[in-house]
Structure 1
Amino acid sequence: MGTLEGHLLSGVGFLMYAFYYSSLTSLALLQKQTVLNHLLLPRKLLGHRLIWQVSYEAVMKVIVPAFGIIGEYFYPLGVNRLKMIDWKDPRRLFIFKDNWQHVTMFGFFILSGVVDIVSQAQQARWSMKLERAAEALAFYVLGLLMITHIENKNALEIRVHLLLVLPAFLLALVLTVEIWVPDNAPLWVLKSWMGLVLSTWMMQICEMYIPLTGQPWRADNPMDLAFVAIFFCWHLALGVALLIAIYGLCSLWHRHASSWTKTLGTKYQRCPTESGGEELEKLSAEAVPQDGGV
């Protein structure tokens, strides 16, 4: 993840998760649901029948970090960072610190996805708490390793990664509260907001690798360091704007779906067979034109 591609993969993965969860939250609020229902994969996938139904979220938690782990070890092509200990150099024992930190983060998100799959197979009430606990653990690990990730970094990288810790820690805190207080709408909204902030800030880090202005960020410039904090505050507002936009789009879809359902309900009505025969004859007369009619 220490490259543009690594941050881009993580940023896109978190962004997909944040949009997905924000959409679920918006629809749940519009439909006045008390439980947040996750979308499940169809029973038949690619012509094969699944043993049990799992959510899209659980599958993405496994697939996206798995690609991240492969990239940490073998990207660019031809390298191999599976080696952790350098036995030939007595002056240093462990190598590839950053890569192993990233792999550890990805591994805990895969663990969260596996817990989700097992939990959804059990379909027990207690298993929902286990899902939240595993997901909270993944974000705690993310925050912890980001704090230690700043060792031997310049001032710019230190500030960027410390600001990344804030939404990660708040997400972990919300998930921890959800273990004891599940199905709480304000927590859904806060989780969606922090997820959007985390993902957009990750994309901002990608911009620092290839600046849109063409001017590279300078770690020795106090002005650039000051604007890092300013941009993060803007990302807080951007997260709110994105959440409002997602809610608005879901509201339009909800209205359209509701009107479509009502139209179907009025269009297709059962014939009143249990009423008198006079009503049936009246309906038949209206349907068949009389002799001499146009």
Structure 2
Amino acid sequence: MGSFEGHLLSGSGLLLYSIYYSSLMSLALLQKQRMPKHLLLPRKMLGCRLFFPVSYEAVVKVVIPAFAILCEYYYPLGVNHLMMIDWKDPRRLFVFKDTWQHVTMFGFFILSGIAGIVSQAKQASWSVKLERTGEALAFYVVALLMIAHIENKSVLEIRVHLLFVLPAFLLALILTVEIWVPDNAPLWVLKSWMGLVLSTWMLQICEMYIPFTGQPWRADNPTDLAFVTIFFCWHLVLGVTLLIAIYGLCSLWHHHYSSWTKTLGARYQRCLMESSSEELEKLNAEAVAQDGGV
């Protein structure tokens, strides 16, 4: 959906996912984990028992893009963009180019979610590689289609979408490296940062549809074009700020949880008794004497 609602849905979903992954990454760094651990769905849901572990992340990758595809075809209510070729026209023209580009992007994210579900079910040595390959492929497709998406657009739209391609392509490169080096902490941080930048920039595009100043952006104004690039640089800083804030909150939770578990452990420590201790020998002697006297 090349509209305010479409960019808002995509940007909000991507932002929530980026915050979720940044939280997992922060906890993995604090707990010195080899890799971030997925949060798994309960094994019993809606009266049905799951046959294998499934993460929230994989389900979100399938459900949200599937909903977005339905919106692409049938939103606003009453429209139908499911047709790809106008068969009534003798020239057999392709129609709804933007819709099919968006559907293709969402479709690859669904494939990424399916790859995640399969990798979590198998738990084999190649599982992580399959999951990272699916994610990298999805972002390569985003970058490729966004480059094609700017054809016959205004200068402003071209600038905005090229700046969107940059973090998407960097994310794809990072995920490609993670196929072979999944346990590299700096890559986790870079991936979280680029994900936050990509999502906040998508929300910035929403602002261009409904400007907070009340005045529309002008594609023929060099000043407006310059400020688009300036705002993108600010989004780079905003991504770092959000990442630091998420890490700080996770650090507070981790220290609070660690101190709580230590307090519990100290409160319920078992009394360790060694067989060689003098007190244990004295108690045993007294018990034997009492048994002999009965």
What is the TM-score with the length of structure 1 in the denominator?
Answer: 0.92
Correspondences of 1:1-294 after superposition (within 5 Å): 1-91=1-91, 93-272=93-272
Cα separation, 2, equivalents of 1:35 and 1:3: 37
User: Structure 1, residues 90-135: CA drift from partner, whole Å, max 9, x if none?
Assistant: 3561000000000000000000001111111111011210111111
Letter matched to residue 29 of structure 1: L
Q: Which moved more, 1:214-223 or 1:258-267?
A: 214-223
Q: Which residue of 2 aligns with 1:288?
A: none
CA RMSD of aligned residues (A): 1.8
Q: What SS does structure 1 have at the residue aligned with 2:140?
A: helix
Cα separation, 2, equivalents of 1:91 and 1:156: 32
Q: Which residue of 1 aligns with 2:290?
A: none
Q: Is the 8 A contact 2:26 2:247 kept in 1?
A: yes
Q: Report deviation, 1:3.
A: 0.8
Query: What is the aligned length?
Result: 282
Q: What SS does structure 2 have at the residue aligned with 1:125?
A: coil
Q: Is the 8 A contact 2:27 2:36 kept in 1?
A: no
Cα separation, 1, equivalents of 2:12 and 2:51: 29
Cα separation, 2, equivalents of 1:35 and 1:98: 37
Q: Is the 8 A contact 2:143 2:168 kept in 1?
A: yes
Q: Report deviation, 1:273.
A: 6.1
Q: Report deviation, 1:168.
A: 0.3
Cα separation, 1, equivalents of 2:219 and 2:27: 43
What is the TM-score with the length of structure 2 in the denominator?
Answer: 0.92
Q: Report deviation, 1:32.
A: 1.2
User: Structure 1, residues 127-176: CA drift from partner, whole Å, max 9, x if none?
Assistant: 21011111100000000000000011111111100100000000000000
User: Structure 1, residues 31-66: CA drift from partner, whole Å, max 9, x if none?
Assistant: 111222111111112332111111111000001101
Q: Report deviation, 1:274.
A: 6.0
Cα separation, 1, equivalents of 2:5 and 2:98: 15
Classify 1:156/1:92 alpha carbon distance in 2 versus 1 (closer, same or farther; 3 Å).
farther
Cα separation, 2, equivalents of 1:130 and 1:33: 20
Cα separation, 1, equivalents of 2:176 and 2:266: 46
Cα separation, 2, equivalents of 1:149 and 1:125: 38
Sequence identity (%): 79
